[in-house]
């Protein structure tokens, strides 16, 4: 397994439930974690609530400082944020976990994305970064629950650069109970993002925090 023990991680959108949950688990695993937000104060407040040495700042500052950057913002602001941070993210691994979803009376459904997926949109906007898709199906509730020692989940990791996907798989496995599984090229990210709508339906019907396990590997 790739050694990722010294890598620092910035999470853009780290004040939201998903971003904050990932930040908490990575901080507990010993990584230096930087939470990003449009408001530096909100980011610092979120970091303080997590503890474990997490720090916070404006998106541009934490993006420039970290080794790996996770994008966990709402899809509505996805493109604009990445366009504004193109220089800060150049040369870095950018992990996109954004799910383009809509909601109506029938529940969650996948939104169309011109580039094919949010991850492909990120790759188009960030030509000087290495974009990897991962962490789409991790329950924020489980990540934040101090009573949950191990998260029973496989994280599907997609990308076009073998070294980058190996690094992200290893980062996923820093969370106890989680396994990082290579899931294909970035062009296959659309169905991974869209499947989140199915998981939301499962969770609502069964009052659960369901995830995925891949068999026979």
pLDDT of 86: 98
pLDDT of 52: 84
Measure the CA–CA gap between 169 and 43, rounded to whole angstroms.
26
Structural contact between residues 174 and 4, judged by C-beta atoms closer than 8 angstroms: yes
Mean per-residue pLDDT of the chain = 96
Residue 68 has pLDDT above 90, yes or no: yes
pLDDT of 87: 98
pLDDT of 51: 81
Measure the CA–CA gap between 83 and 185, rounded to whole angstroms.
23
Measure the CA–CA gap between 23 and 33, rounded to whole angstroms.
6
pLDDT of 152: 95
Give this prediction's pTM: 0.95
**Averaged over 150-167, what is the pLDDT?**
97
Which single residue is written with the structure tokens 């969650």?
108
Express as a percent the part of the chain with pLDDT over 90.
95
pLDDT of 181: 98
Measure the CA–CA gap between 68 and 166, rounded to whole angstroms.
13
Measure the CA–CA gap between 21 and 44, rounded to whole angstroms.
15
**Averaged over 68-97, what is the pLDDT?**
97
Report pLDDT digits (tens) over 96-122. 999 999 999 999 999 999 999 999 999
pLDDT of 1: 75
Q: How confident is the model at residue 94 (pLDDT cuts 50, 70, 90)?
A: very high
> For the CA atoms of the chain, what is the radius of gyration?
16
**Averaged over 20-34, what is the pLDDT?**
95
Question: Which residue, 126, 99, 125, 121, is CA-closest to 19?
Answer: 99
């Amino acid at each position: 397994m790739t050694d990722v023990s010294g890598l620092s991680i910035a999470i853009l959108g780290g004040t939201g439930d998903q971003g904050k949950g990932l930040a908490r688990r990575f901080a507990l695993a010993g990584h230096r974690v930087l939470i990003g937000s449009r408001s530096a104060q909100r980011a610092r407040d979120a970091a303080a609530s997590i503890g474990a040495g997490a720090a916070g700042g404006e998106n541009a500052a934490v993006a420039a400082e970290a080794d790996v950057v996770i994008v966990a913002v709402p899809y509505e602001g996805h493109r604009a944020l990445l366009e504004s941070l193109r220089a800060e993210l150049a040369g870095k691994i950018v992990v996109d976990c954004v799910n383009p979803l809509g909601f109506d009376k029938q529940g969650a459904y996948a939104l169309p994305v011109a580039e094919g997926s949010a991850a492909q949109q990120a790759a188009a906007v960030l030509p000087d970064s290495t974009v990897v898709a991962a962490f789409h199906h991790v329950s924020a509730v489980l990540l934040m629950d101090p009573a949950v020692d191990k998260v029973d989940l496989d994280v599907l990791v997609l990308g076009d650069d073998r070294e980058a996907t190996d690094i992200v798989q290893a980062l996923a496995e820093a969370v106890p109970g989680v396994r990082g599984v290579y899931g294909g090229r970035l062009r296959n990210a659309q169905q991974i993002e869209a499947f989140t709508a199915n998981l939301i339906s499962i969770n609502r019907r069964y009052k659960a925090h369901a995830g995925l396990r891949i068999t026979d590997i």
